Amino acid sequence: MKNTPSSLLLIIIFFGFTLHSCQDKMENENVAGKRGIIVPKVDSLKYSEKYCCILLPEHGFSVYDSPKGKIIGTIKRLGNIKEDDQVPYKIYFVTENKKVKIDHYREIGYEIFAINYTDSAKGFVKVLDSSKNYWLSVAEIEKHGFKTINWRDQMIAQSTDALGYYANEPGLRLRKEPNSESEIMGSVRGDLFEIKLTKNISGQWCKVKVKKYKEHPCNTELEETENIESQTEGWLKIIDDNGEPNLWNYTKGC
């Protein structure tokens, strides 16, 4: 049977739509994996005195001027905890000529902080000041018993233990499918909407379970069953277009 012009047009449109859909999925996945943190491979070691409290191995990490470039310094701790009990809360960028105190890290638990990265390329991750070229080798990170993990996977990994996640202001739209064109099922805003993540993901999106409370669980005398106003499931875009989390949680608990 010969293809008519109209059938050829339909075929072209179909393949064009399929290609565009695949490109969107790849772009969403790339964005989701763009930024994250550096943590011990064994999760429980986050709480060990050896790595406390800004998570870093004893000898630190070498800092490169570019992916596969040259070493220009080290990220490490300095000082003796017997003389200064704040040593675990301080890390420095150390070169031959100077040392600079670093403030580029994120709190991920009670008094637990992790160095965050803002880009990745050729087996390296970009750290510290995002406007400058400071890179760490992923191979070296892993050699020292650490790993890189993007924000999406980190949030999912700790979702079971977290008190709950909440949408950044001004809130998020809960959708039926993992895309911005899908049907809106409702909005999630403020800390009365507790978000639990599942392992069902699609790029920047995650299927979630949402509980709407009458009163915040940390400030109520109501039993949980009578405090729940509603429960629903749907998809939230938990990673923004810069690769940063669209959610927050109480790292210190109630």
C-alpha torsion 38→43→47→50, nearest 10: -70
Q: Which two tokens stand for residue 142?
A: 């892993």
**246 DSSP 8-state letter:** S
- Write down the pLDDT at residue 17: 43
Q: For the chain, what's the residue count?
A: 254
Q: How far apart are CA 129 and CA 73, in angstroms?
A: 14
**45 DSSP 8-state letter:** G
Assess contact for 233 and 210: CB atoms under 8 A: yes
- Write down the pLDDT at residue 15: 45
Q: How far apart are CA 91 and CA 55, in angstroms?
A: 10
| Cα 42 → chain centroid | 18
* Domain boundaries 165-249, corresponding CATH code: 2.30.30
- Write down the pLDDT at residue 33: 73
- Write down the pLDDT at residue 5: 56
DSSP-derived 3-state class of residue 219: helix
Q: Say which amino acid occupies 24.
A: D
- Write down the pLDDT at residue 43: 84
Q: How far apart are CA 85 and CA 83, in angstroms?
A: 7
- Write down the pLDDT at residue 254: 77
How does 191-222 read in b/e, with b if 16+ C-beta sit within 10 Å? bbbbbebeeebbbbbbbbebbbbeeebeeeee
Assess contact for 200 and 206: CB atoms under 8 A: yes
- Write down the pLDDT at residue 199: 94
The number of beta carbons lying within 10 Å of the beta carbon of residue 82 is 7
- Per-residue model confidence as pLDDT tens for the chain (254 residues): 455 655 554 444 444 444 444 445 555 567 887 899 999 999 888 888 888 889 999 889 999 999 999 999 999 998 877 777 788 889 999 998 899 998 889 999 888 999 999 999 999 999 988 888 999 999 999 999 999 999 999 999 988 777 789 999 999 999 999 999 999 999 999 999 999 999 999 999 999 999 999 999 889 999 989 999 999 999 999 999 999 999 999 888 77
String of DSSP letters for 67-131 = TT--EEEEEE--S-TTT-TTGGG--EEE-SS-EEE---EEEEETTEEEEEEEEEETTEEEES-TT
- Write down the pLDDT at residue 146: 96
What does pTM read for this prediction? 0.83
- Write down the pLDDT at residue 184: 97
Q: Which two tokens stand for residue 178?
A: 């993992």
- Write down the pLDDT at residue 84: 77
- Write down the pLDDT at residue 46: 83
Q: Where are the domains of the chain?
A: 36-157, 165-249
- Write down the pLDDT at residue 61: 96
